[in-house]
Amino acid sequence: MKKVLLIAALVLFISAGLFAAEAGKLVVWCSEAQVNILQELGNDFETMYGVPVDVQEMDFGQIKSKFLQAAPVGEGPDIIVTAHDQIGELVVNGLVLPMDFLTLSEREKFVDTAIEAFEYGGKLYGLPYALEAIALFYNKDYLDEAPQSMEELVALAQEYTSDEFRGFVYNAPDFYFSAPFLFANGGYVFKKTDKGLDPNDIGLNNEGAVKGAQFIDEMYDKGVLKPGDNYEIADGLFKDGMAMAIINGPWATTGYKEAGINYGIAPIPSLDGNPVRPFTGVQGFLINSESPNTLFAIDFLANYINTAEVMQRLYNADPRPPAREDVAKMVEDDADVSAFYNSAANGIPMPNIPAMAAVWGAMADALDQIINNKLEPAEALDQAVEKIKAGIGE
């Protein structure tokens, strides 16, 4: 029946003269990680419904910029696969279609964090499929289990740390990695409201954020972290078996396995008795609002991609923590994926509004000033917030 409806819709659109050159053919842009499985799924969709799907590989970092150039002039893909934090500019320019076809019962199949990530101005603009967040890696040769609190981890790290060995190390100068500590006691980037994130309400220098920054500063004062630490140093130490614990993301697991590290993964331990929630990134599908094939794109996503079977096939080809809860249960025997799923599901969606562009540089400067004792945490964060406000106003 669906195939008949699709053919009827195709005839109607052609007779109305609304199709561009790719009429009746879905074009999908995605990165290298998804291209093979999506083409396989697209071929199956064509067999089932008679609508061809052409999956084109794009550099992940260029998907948004190229889409912004192509979509307004009626070119480019019908669907893109990208990260949720890139949707703000696309929504503001009216280039992506709201996912109004996803009913409340369908949305309830997803982790709340995944749905929230793709919401903008109270509307849903993406179909989530995978999650990503950082977590705590620990070396089981030194720790039988992960510490339950950061206070406990830091105390252990002080005992283990020497000139060569590190009890705990991570890429502290990078706001992405340090943000969870600022959030633990109530810090936030932009205030969440019923209408979305408010860029005029910045919580990166409130009492909770300052308390988190002070904790980071104390780890340097105690010699647990050291000026000069960065991602490469932290990753290399853990890979060489010379660090007891590190904060990193799922992309690091392959390297640690190849290095023979007997690792475990756990949520970042609590701080002051509060959960330490990292940024969550969500991958998903967006529909080009300028596409002449929106009916086919909706059918492809709503009735084909958004099924447990197909979502599991996506996971099998590109094992990232699934955004759908039922698929996550199907793969819970994978300890690594389950650990990162739990971290991401309990995380905070990376802000998806354009104002976020002003945050990264300002917070990197603040962390540099704190780490290198140029400014006290409160003063560094105050300056950062002023820079962010200025950047948003430009």
Q: What is the tens place of the pLDDT at every residue in 309-361?
A: 999 999 999 889 999 999 999 998 999 999 999 999 999 999 999 999 999 99
Query: Which pLDDT tens digit goes with each residue over 102-158?
Result: 999 999 999 999 999 999 999 999 999 999 999 999 999 999 999 999 999 999 999
Query: Which pLDDT tens digit goes with each residue over 177-187?
Result: 999 999 999 99
Query: Which pLDDT tens digit goes with each residue over 263-288?
Result: 999 999 999 999 999 999 999 999 99
Q: What is the pLDDT of residue 12?
A: 37
**Amino acid letter, 267:** P
Q: What is the pLDDT of residue 136?
A: 98
Structure tokens at 371: 């780490």
CB 280 within 8 A of CB 131: yes
Q: What is the pLDDT of residue 86?
A: 93
Span 51-66, average pLDDT: 95
User: Three-state SS string across the chain, please?
Assistant: CHHHHHHHHHHHHHHCCCCCCCCCCEEEEECHHHHHHHHHHHHHHHHHHCCCEEEEECCHHHHHHHHHHHHHHCCCCCEEEEEHHHHHHHHHCCCECCCCCCCHHHHCCECHHHHHHCEECCEECCEEEEEECCEEEEECCCCCCCCCEHHHHHHHHHHHCCCCCEEEECCCCCHHHHHHHHHCCCCEEEEEECCEEEEEEEECCCHHHHHHHHHHHHHHHCCCCCCCCCHHHHHHHHHCCCEEEEEECHHHHHHHHHCCCCEEEECCCEECCECCCCEEEEEEEEEECCCCCHHHHHHHHHHHHCCHHHHHHHHHHCCCCECEHHHHHHCCCCHHHHHHHHHHHCCEECCCCHHHHHHHHHHHHHHHHHHCCCCCHHHHHHHHHHHHHHHHHC
For domain 2-132+280-349, the CATH superfamily is Periplasmic binding protein-like II (3.40.190.10)
Q: Is the pLDDT of residue 29 over 80?
A: yes
Q: What is the dihedral of CA 290, 198, 369, 85, to 10 degrees?
A: -30
CATH architecture group of domain 135-275+353-393 = 3-Layer(aba) Sandwich (3.40)
**Inter-CA distances, 388 with 20, 181, 189, Å:** 42, 19, 10
Query: Which pLDDT tens digit goes with each residue over 70-93?
Result: 999 988 999 999 999 999 999 999
**Amino acid letter, 246:** I
Q: Is the pLDDT of residue 17 over 60?
A: no
Query: Which pLDDT tens digit goes with each residue over 236-266?
Result: 999 999 999 999 999 999 999 999 999 999 9
* Of residues 12 and 41, more confidently modeled: 41
Report the alpha-carbon distance of residue 163 to residue 60 in Å, rounded: 39
Return mean pLDDT, the chain: 93
Q: Give the burial string for 303-331 (b: 16+ CB within 10 Å, else e).
A: ebbbeeebbbbbbeebbbbbbbbebbebb
Q: What is the pLDDT of residue 112?
A: 96
The pLDDT confidence band at residue 10, using thresholds 50, 70 and 90, is very low
Q: Is the pLDDT of residue 30 over 80?
A: yes
Q: What percentage of the chain carries pLDDT values higher than 70?
A: 94
Q: What is the pLDDT of residue 22?
A: 67
Q: Is the pLDDT of residue 13 over 60?
A: no
Residues in Cβ contact with 58 at an 8 Å cutoff, skipping those fewer than 6 apart: 29, 30, 31, 66
**Whole-structure pTM value:** 0.89
Q: What is the pLDDT of residue 11?
A: 37
Q: Is the pLDDT of residue 1 over 80?
A: no
Q: What is the pLDDT of residue 5?
A: 41
Q: Is the pLDDT of residue 20 over 80?
A: no
Distance from CA of residue 382 to its chain's centroid? Answer: 27
Report the alpha-carbon distance of residue 204 to residue 183 in Å, rounded: 9
Q: What percentage of the chain carries pLDDT values higher than 90?
A: 89
Q: What is the pLDDT of residue 195?
A: 85
Domains 2-132+280-349 and 135-275+353-393 share a fold: yes
Locate the domains of the chain by residue range.
2-132+280-349, 135-275+353-393
The pLDDT confidence band at residue 21, using thresholds 50, 70 and 90, is very low
Q: What is the pLDDT of residue 199?
A: 96
Span 208-225, average pLDDT: 98
